[in-house]
Structure 1
Amino acid sequence: MFAVLKTGGKQYKVQAGDVLRVEKLNAAAGEKVQFNEILMVGSTLGAPLVEGAAVQAEVIDQIKGDKVIKYVKRRRKHSSQRTRGHRQQLTLLRVTDVLENGAAKSGVKAAVGARTKVEEVAAKPARANAAKAKKKADEAEPASDATEA
């Protein structure tokens, strides 16, 4: 029996015994994880998800994908150029079970994506802006008290 699961913004058609490379998950090698966002199991189509269905998998390893090199040459006559490389962090999984129902009772840890540094960096400016706004509000309150006195 096969299932279509969703993780890391992608969809995968899997069956027991398959080996997958998915976006990095917060799990160590040897752990069992369970995917609960199942779009289809066999001939059962979800709307949008199949209730009670799950796919269980064992984490084989945390790996890095192939290196992608981006080369940008800008501006004629000035030799302005830039090279950037990237290796995506991935999790290697072996699918062990496809469950049509009973996912809540299985007791296996849900598969959760690892937070990336990009998300943390994006969250920092929001906190800094909130702190600045609070500081300005605190400064504005005493000024209004001084005008009343």
Structure 2
Amino acid sequence: MQAVIKTCGKQYCVSEGQVLAVSSLEGNVGEEIGINEVLMISGEKTVVGTPVVSGAKVTAEILAQFRGKKIIVFKSKRRKGYKKRNGHRQDLTKIKITKIEC
């Protein structure tokens, strides 16, 4: 069974047992969280929500809270001597999908 969920403003296609890194979610390592914004469920029968599937829920377990790879943001304007360098590291949460309920 697969589902399309929406969390932190992004959509993910997930299945049971899948491990993925999403933007930072509140909670401690080992806690169970419920994601209620399920946009679609496919299995024996495909159910598409308008915009969400009513009564559907995806349960996930938090495996780790970590920070992503550092990216460098560099801005410059030609012939003006303007240069700005900035770095960014995104806070991420590693979750494991444990159950998909219709």
Q: TM-score, normalised by structure 2?
A: 0.91
Higher helix share: 1
Give the corresponding residue for 2:31: 31
Give the corresponding residue for 1:82: 84
Alignment of 1:1-149 (within 5 A): 1-42=1-42, 43-76=46-79, 78=81, 80-100=82-102
Which runs of 4 or more aligned residues in structure 1 lie more than 4 Å from their structure 2 counterparts after TM superposition?
A: none
- CA deviation map 1:104-131 (0-9, x unaligned): xxxxxxxxxxxxxxxxxxxxxxxxxxxx
User: Structure 1 counterpart of 2:84, which letter?
Assistant: R
**RMSD of aligned alpha carbons:** 1.2
> What fraction of aligned residue pairs are identical, expressed as a percent?
43
Q: Any unmatched runs of 5+ in structure 2?
A: none
Matches of 2:31 and 2:72 in 1, distance apart?
33
Secondary structure of 2:95's partner?
Answer: strand
Matches of 1:52 and 1:74 in 2, distance apart?
52
Q: TM-score, normalised by structure 1?
A: 0.63
User: Structure 1 counterpart of 2:57, which letter?
Assistant: A
Matches of 2:97 and 2:36 in 1, distance apart?
13
